Amino acid sequence: MQAARVCLPVGVYKEFEVNRGSEGEALFRQVTSDLSIEERDYFSLCFYDKEEGIRHWLYNDKKILKQLKNLP
């Protein structure tokens, strides 16, 4: 299991546990369930490249680690 630190809309950080080979959907479902979000089609997760200061969308159908490996 791997910890994923997520900044919630209220500005609070929370850690979620996902398997190392998980796709973005696994983390997305945990976050939206925790926030009691039913209309999931209107939301998504993103992460920041600290070096470039660029926001990247976390794709639900791709593995999380593969998406992070594309960063410099």
Q: For residue 61, name the pLDDT band (cuts at 50, 70, 90).
A: very high
pLDDT at residue number 63 = 96
CATH code, 38: 3.10.20.90
pLDDT at residue number 50 = 82
The domain in which residue 30 lies consists of: 2-69
> How far is it, in rounded angstroms, from Cα 3 to Cα 13?
12
Work out the angle at residue 57's Cα, subtended by the Cα atoms of residues 53 and 59, and round it to the nearest 5 degrees: 150
How many residues comprise the chain? 72
pLDDT at residue number 45 = 97
Counting the structural domains of the chain, the total is 1
The pLDDT tens digits of the residues spanning 1-60 come to 999 999 999 999 999 999 999 999 999 999 999 999 999 999 999 998 888 889 999 999
Tokens of 51: 């070096």
